[in-house]
Each structure stands twice: as structure tokens, then as C-alpha cells.
Amino acid sequence: VSLNSIRHFKENDNDEAQLAKCLGQLWSHGIVPDWSAYHTGERRKRISLPTYSFEPIAYPTEVNPFELFLKQNNYVHKRSAKVNDWFFRPQWKQSIRLPKGLPDLKNKTVVLFSDHPDLTNKIRDNFIAQHATCVTVSIGAGFEKRGLDVYAINPAVHHHYEMLFAALKDDGLIPSNIVHFLNVDRNDSLVATSENINFYQKAGYESLLEIVRKFTSLFGSTPLQLDVVANGWYSVTGNEMICPAKAPSLGAVKVIPSEFLNITCSAIDVVDYSEASLKSLFSELVYPSDNTEVAIRGKYRYLKGFEKISVEPVDRPVFRIKGTYLITGANGGMSSVFSNYLVDEFQSNLILTGRGEPRTDLIRTLEKKGAKVIYIPSDVTDFNTMALEIEKAEQLLGSINGVIHTAGMGDYAGVILNRSHADDQKICAPKLWGTQVLVSIFRNKKLDFFVNCSSISASLAPFGQVAYVASNLYQDAVAEADRFDFPVLSIEWTAMQEIGMAIHATRHLSPGDQASALKTGISPKDAVQILASAIGIRLPVQIISTSDFEQIFNERQDLKMEGMESGLAVPAQNRPDISTAFVAAETDTEKKLLYIYEKFFGIKQIGIEDNFFELGGDSLKAMVLLKKISQELNVNLTLKVFFEHPTIKKMALDIDEIKFLLEKKNTGQVKTIKI
């Protein structure tokens, strides 16, 4: 028997279908294929079929299994076996915006936060020409109403935002659009000094968080488009001046939409304010877009994407034999891996820094291998101590040849509504201020390399980690700025399988579940190979992903509310084995919530004291559930309330109490209730 297992190049048949067809023909001729080899790597999944014929779930029999296979594999992140296939970089691609009709801005309120008078006037005039009410807010010493729809605030004073929105509400104005220009250059140096880091933290990152907090507090779930305009964010053509101090505000722009159902955000980078640039900018401000990050260069529009890097073996040594290297975060797992690698392979001398007492076991091990090790017990943000102790160490071990900045702190402060300013300062300290201290110390020295150990979170912007995203973006921006005589790299690491923050974040899982959660992570052996390759290719920002990162990023961007809702219609499953006993619903509100939960999860016998997250919920599902509750019960809930009331019983009590109080207070019909 002779069969073609590969289709003709002019045929459009699926390759998997062609192969399966050939195997079937072989079987029909009495030749038994090795089915176990054919199905290697596949996992069987049990599904629940309808229990009776009237169950309203369709199970189509006309299914093309090969088309289904391809669709399923679009969302399966296959791990590449080769470390050299794990490197990706940001790439900007030119895009066009198709012409549309005039936007409907009549009776809409647009709030412009800007301290750039010429730019403010031009943008305001454009909005007014579209019949919008335009409110301008500039920077002042205190809160002040300077005229009709003209205000001033001090961005560092958080309650000024509440005073501003309260004044707008009193005037009957509900913002539909906010345009934030406080990241636009103030005509000072773009170098990241402590002074302008402080300014842009207040006027950029913290300003955006306070805007969404106070807007939500006063206007509830009213839809809002928040556009943040800046210069110095993105290197698109390679000629831009990057301002790292502005980078943390990008973290806010990227995380806010995942935590607030009603708010959409975009970051728009503009390098000049020529007529062509302003025309392109205004088009971005008035027309809806699914693009979170946009760069305008004159009349041209660019969108951020990612490109796989072809990494070849390094043909020159990147580490010196018996060189001297500084590694921060000495008490962390990544620092330990790199320290042992440098000593084992290159007989390096090490200067380690960390907070508190040193890991004597690590230092003893390194010294037994012949290394000279100096430990500096200092917070990496303490400039004076770091500068003095590094100078002393260099007198003993010689000039430092390279810096590996691994210090960092995980972000467990939660959603924007719950976190405090102190939380954010603590999380940002090692990566933001620590990086600033180190580059200041080494600015005029000769190094072979300076490596920031950033995180893939900078690109993926996970829910509930806004400060961590912001601080990693700062490290990326320092590398992009290219202001030093030595190469500065920022490596966005994916999760580690045996060390690092991912192990801490998954410590509550069983060993099997933890291994499953980290299956796409990298090992310590992989990490040292990645470090050497990254230093060798010297691209400023390198993203490490064991799977196709562009696919992962696009899936996250495409994960909209409607898509998630359509994907949650699953067959009813029996009650899972969870920590709480089943308690039936009693009140009308409990029964309505129970119906929503059971339909949402596809689980029978959910109890009113069952925890949403124990049932299999997560942050994205929480957002969808909130939308469902709002539609069904005519009640608008914030994520803050949801996280405080993750059970049906508590949520129902809260809803009933608020409804009762408001119905007593209001004489008219209560249409929408904000909790």
C-alpha cells in the first residue's frame, strides 16, 4: 500500500486531517498504526452530557474535529524546547486609522488635566468645536476654581481630586472623557533625576490612581474614557529621548482597565506638537480604540507588538575570568543562582548587597569554591551607604566589571481601590529607586554591562499588581534611554520553577497544582544560559517566554467581557469538594444571586457561604460576574465591594440593606443603586 501522508501544495486540506485519513486507510488494509505514539502528549477530559432531553444545552453532531483542533490550539501555549527560542522584544508597527464620521460629543463633558497652556488651548478648542463641554485643570499650589470650567489642583494632594469631581457634580457635569497631559515634558531635562522622578510619580502614576478612585467614588460605574498623553515613553524610531521617570504612569494605564469595568484607557506618546501630530492626536482622543498603547509620529500612527529574536550562541565571553561583579538582592533565589554560576564557571569575585543579615550558607559555599565575597548589608535605595561601601569593596577586589540588579519585592497589595500609597512606595523601592541609586553610582564608571532583572509583568500587566508593573516598566525605560557608556539591559523574566516570587505566590497550592501552575516556567539552569545570551545580544529590553509571547499578549488583549461570557456556558457539574458546607438560599436576593452564580460557573448546588474564588473564580471572572449582577439586579457593584463580600450571603445582605435605605430616602423610583 502506498499513500501520501502529506497533502499536495495546491490542496487546501488540513494537514492533520490528511495524516489521519492516511492512518485510517492503512488500518482498513490491516496495518495497525502505533496509536499511542500518534496520541502522545494528549490529555483526555471527561465532559458531562445532558441528563435529560429538555436540558437547554446544544451538543452539535456536525463537528469538524480538525477545525476544532486548530481553534483549541490557538489557546494552547506550547513550551518550546530550546532556550534560544524564548527571546522576544517589543516592536512598533505602523498602523492606519480608517476615516470615520464626526464623533458625537454633544452634551459630553471632557476634563483636560494639563500644565501646558498652548497644548491645552488647542485641544480644548477642538473639543468645543465638537460641541463638548471642556473643563481644564492645571497645576497649582492648592485647589482653586479660577473661572467657568477652569480649575487648579495640587497633584500631590489626593483629596483635591475628590474636591474637583464634587464641584463638577454640583454643576451637573459628569465626565465622559478625561485627557491627562501631566506627563507632557515641562521643558526640563529628561534625565531621571530624583527631582523629576518625584514629580512624575505625583503628577503621573499617583494622579491616575487618584482620578479613577475618586471618579468611581462619586460617579460609580459611569462609563469613562481615560486617555493619557506623554512624550518620552516609547522608542519607536530610535531617535526619541526616553524619560524613565514617566514610565510608572504606563503601569497605571495598563492595569486600570482590568480593575474597573467602566473605564477604558489608552497611552498616547507624542514627540512633537506640530499640526500633523495634533491632528493625529485629536483623532485618537475622540474615536474609540481597542489599542492600549499608541505612538504618534507626525501623521503616522504606530501600535506596539512583539517580535521573536533569533538568538545564536555567543561567540565571545560575556563574563571575565576572575572578574568582579555586583549582585543586588543577595538573599533572593535569583541572586544565589547567578552567584554560584559566576564562581563555578569564571572564578569571579562578588560584591553582594541585601537587606538585613547575609545568607551565611551561601557566602560560605562561595568562599569554599575559592571566591572572594564581600557582603554589603544595605537597602539598595540608600545612596550614601551604597556608594561608600561599593567604593570600599572595589579597593579590596578591584573595579566592578558588571552589575546584576535582582532586588525586587512582590506586589500583594491588591486592587487599586484597596491599596495605599505606603504599599506602592514599598513595592516600588527596590526596582525604581534602587535602579536610580545604582545608575547614579556607576554613571561615570566603565562597566561591561548593567542588567536589570525586570519581569514579564511589565508587558502583560496582571490584575492587582499596578505598583509592580510600574516599577518594572521603569527598569525597562532606563535600558531604553541608552544614556550610559556601557550597555544597560532589562530582562523581563517569566516565572522561575524552583526559585523567586512565583514560588512564593503559589505556595498555597498543593505540590501537584504548584508544579502545574509553573510548568511553563524556567529552571535555574535555563536562567544562567538566558543571562549570558541576553548580555551577548545587548538589546535594551528582552522578554523571556517559553511560549509564543505575541500569541499570549494578543489573547490577553482580546479577552473582552462578551467573549468571556459566551465561553462560560458549560454543562452543569456537581458541587465541588470545597471547605464550606452547603447552605441553601433563603431570601429573594440570595436566590437571584444563586441563579446567576450557578449559571455562571455551571455548578449545581452552590451554597450561599461558598467563596467565589474557591469555586474557581478569578479576577477576570469577577469582572464578568459583576456585569451580570448589575444587569439582573439593577445594582452597580464595585470590585472593592466584591472582594470584601465574596459570598452570596454577604453580598445579598449588603444589597438588601442599601436598597432599603435608599428606597426610604428617595421619593421617586430608584433606577440605579451604587454600592
In this predicted structure, what is the pLDDT of residue 515?
61
Question: For residues 28 and 225, what is the distance between their CA atoms, to the nearest angstrom?
Answer: 62
* pLDDT computed for residue 562 by the predictor: 43
Q: pLDDT by residue (tens digit) across 188-217?
A: 445 556 678 999 999 999 999 999 999 998
Residue appearing with cell numbers 519607536? 236
213: left (phi over 0), alpha (psi -120 to 50) or beta: alpha
Which uninterrupted H or E stretch holds 466? helix 466-481
Site of grid cell 485629536: 282
Q: Are 489 and 264 in contact (CB under 8 A)?
A: no
- Tell me the residue type at 312: E
Instruction: Write the CA distances from 476 to 87, 96, 245, integer angstroms.
Output: 15, 27, 11
- Give the residue ranges of DSSP H helices in 482-584: 501-505, 511-517, 524-537, 549-558, 561-566
| DSSP state, residue 541 | E
**DSSP assignment of 315-357:** SS-SS-TT-EEEES-TTSHHHHHHHHHHHHHH--EEEEEESSS
Compute CA distances 464 → 233, 468, 469, whole Å: 23, 9, 10
Give me the residues of the chain with pLDDT under 50, please.
Answer: 50-76, 188-189, 560-571, 670-675
How many secondary structure helices (H) and strands (E) does the chain include?
A: 25, 19
Domain made up of 571-674: CATH architecture: Orthogonal Bundle (1.10)
3-state percent helix, strand, coil for the chain, nearest multiple of 5? 40, 15, 40
List Cβ neighbours of 202 (8 Å cut-off, separation of 6 or more).
155, 156
Q: How far apart are CA 532 and CA 318, in angstroms?
A: 7
Is the pTM higher than 0.85? The answer reads no
Residue 570, pLDDT score: 43
- Per domain, the residue ranges of the chain are 15-73, 95-305, 324-558, 571-674
Q: Is 507 exposed, middle or buried (0-12, 13-18, 19+ CB in 10 A)?
A: exposed
DSSP state of 103: -
Closest-CA residue to 458 (of 233, 203, 194, 200): 233
Interhelix angle for 117-129 vs 275-286, to 10°? 50
Are residues 475 and 430 in contact, defined by beta-carbon separation less than 8 angstroms? no
> Identical fold at 95-305 and 324-558?
yes
Domain formed by 95-305, architecture: 3-Layer(aba) Sandwich (3.40)
pLDDT of residue 383: 96
DSSP assignment of 151-207 equals EEE-TT-THHHHHHHHHHHHTT--EEEEEEEEES--SS--S--HHHHHHHIIIIIIH
Identify the residue whose cell numbers are 439586579.
Answer: 633
- Relative orientation angle of helices 65-73 and 15-28, to the nearest 10 degrees: 140
CB 259 within 8 A of CB 463: yes
Instruction: Please state which CATH number belongs to domain 324-558.
Output: 3.40.50.720
